[in-house]
Chains A and B, each alone.
Chain A
Amino acid sequence: MARTLLDKVWEAHTVRTLPSGQTQLLIGLHLIHEVTTPQAFQMLKELKLKVRMPERTFGTLDHIIPTADQSRPYADPEAEEMAQHMYRNMKDFNLQLFDMSTGKQGIVHVIGPELGLTQPGMTIACGDSHTSTHGAVGAIAFGIGTTQVRDVLATQCLAMAKPKLRQVRVEGSLARGVYAKDVILWIINQLGVKGGVGYAYEYAGPVIERMTMEERLTVCNMSIEGGARCGYVNPDQTTIDYLRGKPYAPSGDAFERATRWWLGGVATEPGASFDDVKRIDGARIEPVVTWGINPEMSVGVSQSIPSPEAQPEAERPTFREALAHMGFQAGQPIKGAKIDVAFVGSCTNGRLSDLRIAAEIARKGKVAKHVRALIVPGSQQVAKAAEAEGLHEIFQAAGFQWRKAGCSMCLGMNDDKLRGREMSASSSNRNFIGRQGSPTGRTLLMSPAMVAAAAIAGEVADVREILR
């Protein structure tokens, strides 16, 4: 019987079936960062355990680090303490850390693929829900909590149940001005934030197949926002071309042998069956903007904010709460909604191609006077490549701030926060209440191109009109 990537990866990594009925699953790559690990290392020390496979564990600093002044000690004493714990734990357990001095530091989900650590056929875990990102290269990648981080450190394994598998097919082709971010926001709009609970998502169909690796990373990144445990794209020539020459990918003849395994031994076989298949028409997707307090609450930029009365009764209270928090009226067009802050960055949209698209728009105007606009590259390598192309100068000339790599205003754990009820046009992944650092702050999720367009217009704008 034809098997899926999930079937094959799951079987290859099964150590045993546990008495509970769950699988003891080997984790091939463990990525760690400063925020969700100090308690795990502490538990490890208390249990007098070592890291089981230190050579399969890699760390970076991303969540708490400042993106303006990175001189030590950090101005925020809590951030400094977290960084110090990370350095100490990495040294005590002999683990490799990509800090600022290496030139390879960045958001954990940006650097994994960029360094070639992330490879097809792997199981990957990280104490961060956006670990699903790594599925873009054909890996099964799970976000986990801190006690599970302890488990992976101590045993290189997790106790897990195999999820069901849904294929999400994006058919047709995308219109100009519509990007990978719009595709995943629209998938979440159509399938819902709870729609993926119990499932892994396999993204397929002509739109996904034509996407670059960076676009696939954006799609897989937000699998968790759709409720799915993980998401992946089958490895293909795009994957091979992306990985060739990456520092931690195999090289020479080994790369050719790896290629044969990735394409022949890992990818879903033709004729494989799924627990469910959903189809999305790519041609019908327009630039998407969220208007509410979870990523499913979105509309096409030409549309108006829906009415709570049009929703199933159980959803109405959440809808009303969303309208009240955002200060929007049902029936109001999303286009023209005034913004205060624009943020391009995050593990969703902080890669070179994202910055190039934003720069293309930034070249056409100046940031509106009342808007604070930040460009935060996803990694030091992204920043370096962008600077080599002169993107930073384009941004600065247009009035955007050019920052250093980190998670930044996606979750506001450093100084990059919304203030009060500020409205943010953001290329990040979550519009939850309080997400961007102010308890009353408001977030509109959209593509980097749409963020740049909003920064210039001072309000939500339709990027297609600028590109025309």
Chain B
Amino acid sequence: MTTDFKRRQITGRGIPVTGNDIDTDRIIPARFLKAVVFEGLGEHAFEDARKQNPEHPFNSPAYRGASVLVVGQNFGCGSSREHAPQALMRWGIRAIVGGSFGEIFAGNCVMLGMPCLRASQQDIEWLQREIGRSPQASITVDVEKQEVRLGDRVIKASMPDGPRNQLVNGTWDSTSVLLEAGAAIEATAGRLPYVKGF
């Protein structure tokens, strides 16, 4: 693994998307899944929400170039479509801080090297307010130390050990890691009654 894969910390400007239970249909509507490649999804992130709400942060020039998305509870719930994190990543997002996440979504983010960290409701609200006040401010998401830094304030932000280790150590590109098990894969399968035959 080259150091390029390590995601110890991400620094950039923030963008707040408020509200709870924002599902992956909202992040990328199903009609954009009718493509055999992920390229070009970035411009369609939150497409319908943006059309319906001109004030949507993804419409605002102030947040153009932001890379740290700050969201509420249960962000990314619903459909398993990887197109949702792909769209966010291709828009420019590199890390997400939120109250909580849909689990398939969070897992998909890890597969793309994009950490999702959980923070308290109070801290999320503070971060969103602060970013709204000064969109140019630099935020650091420290995956290794499990904290988010903005100005002189340090916020506790957590993520489960497994995916955090994958990101920090640069082993989130899991195919090569899983292939290392070699013949142990077939050996495990061979012990299963339904594989070897009843």
Name the A residues within 8 Å of B52 (CB-CB).
439-440
A258 x B194 contact (CB < 8 A) = yes
Name the A residues within 8 Å of B171 (CB-CB).
18-20
40-55 of chain B: CB within 8 A of chain A: 48-49, 51-52
Q: Does B152 contact A (CB under 8 A)?
A: no
Contact of A148 among B18, B72, B107, B184 (CB under 8 A): B107
Name the A residues within 8 Å of B191 (CB-CB).
12
B189 x A156 contact (CB < 8 A) = yes
Contact of A15 among B85, B104, B188, B193 (CB under 8 A): B188
Q: Does A254 contact B (CB under 8 A)?
A: yes
Name the A residues within 8 Å of B49 (CB-CB).
433
B80 x A194 contact (CB < 8 A) = no
The 8 A CB mask of B154-187 against A (1 = contact, 0 = none) is 0000001111011001010011011101001100
Name the B residues within 8 Å of A47 (CB-CB).
175
B29 x A439 contact (CB < 8 A) = yes
A155 x B30 contact (CB < 8 A) = no
A314 x B20 contact (CB < 8 A) = yes
Contact of B34 among A79, A157, A261, A317 (CB under 8 A): A79
231-276 of chain A: CB within 8 A of chain B: 250, 254-255, 257-258, 261, 265
Contact of B74 among A35, A227, A440 (CB under 8 A): A227
86-133 of chain B: CB within 8 A of chain A: 100-104, 107-108, 111-112, 121
Report the separation of the CA atoms of residues A367 and B7 in the bound assembly, to the nearest whole angstrom.
57
B181 x A155 contact (CB < 8 A) = yes
**CB of B100, distance to nearest CB on chain A (Å):** 6
B198 x A129 contact (CB < 8 A) = no
- Supposing A16-B184, A129-B78, A161-B160 touch, asked if A413 and B166 sit within 8 A by C-beta, the answer is no
Chain A: number of interface residues, binned into ranges: 35 or more
Name the B residues within 8 Å of A119 (CB-CB).
194
Q: Does A450 contact B (CB under 8 A)?
A: no
**CB of B1, distance to nearest CB on chain A (Å):** 11
The tally of residues in B whose CB lies under 8 Å from a CB in A reads 65
Report the separation of the CA atoms of residues A128 and B79 in the bound assembly, to the nearest whole angstrom.
7
Looking across the interface, which residue of chain B has its beta carbon closest to that of A192?
B74
Q: Does A366 contact B (CB under 8 A)?
A: no
The 8 A CB mask of A55-97 against B (1 = contact, 0 = none) is 0100000011000000000001011011001000000000000
B177 x A258 contact (CB < 8 A) = no
**CB of A416, distance to nearest CB on chain B (Å):** 12
Looking across the interface, which residue of chain B has its beta carbon closest to that of A55?
B195
B30 x A412 contact (CB < 8 A) = yes
Report the separation of the CA atoms of residues A47 and B173 in the bound assembly, to the nearest whole angstrom.
12
Contact of A261 among B35, B169, B198 (CB under 8 A): B198
A148 x B25 contact (CB < 8 A) = no
A15 x B162 contact (CB < 8 A) = no
**CB of A408, distance to nearest CB on chain B (Å):** 12
Q: Does B73 contact A (CB under 8 A)?
A: yes
Contact of B51 among A19, A52, A63, A439 (CB under 8 A): A439
B104 x A147 contact (CB < 8 A) = no
Looking across the interface, which residue of chain B has its beta carbon closest to that of A433?
B26
Q: Does B147 contact A (CB under 8 A)?
A: no
Which residue, A35, A63, A81, has most C-beta atoms of chain B within 10 A? A35
Known A39-B82, A159-B162, A258-B198; further 10 A-B contacts with Cβ < 8 A:
A19-B165, A36-B81, A52-B185, A79-B34, A82-B34, A131-B80, A155-B175, A254-B198, A315-B20, A430-B78
Q: Can you list 6 A-B pairs, Cβ within 8 angstroms, ordered by A?
A: A20-B162, A28-B189, A85-B36, A155-B179, A434-B25, A439-B51
A interface residues with partner B (beta carbon < 8 Å): 12-16, 18-22, 24, 26, 28, 35-36, 38-39, 42, 47, 49, 52-53, 56, 63-64, 76, 78-79, 81-82, 85, 119, 121-122, 127-129, 131, 143-148, 150-151, 154-159, 161, 193-194, 197-198, 224-225, 227, 229, 250, 254-255, 257-258, 261, 265, 293-294, 314-315, 317-318, 321, 411-413, 430, 432-435, 437, 439-440
B interface residues with partner A (beta carbon < 8 Å): 18-21, 23, 25-26, 29-31, 33-38, 48-49, 51-52, 72-74, 77-82, 85, 100-104, 107-108, 111-112, 121, 160-163, 165-166, 169, 171, 174-175, 177-179, 181, 184-185, 188-189, 191-195, 197-198
The 5 closest A-B pairs by CB, nearest first: A145-B82, A145-B108, A439-B48, A38-B36, A147-B111
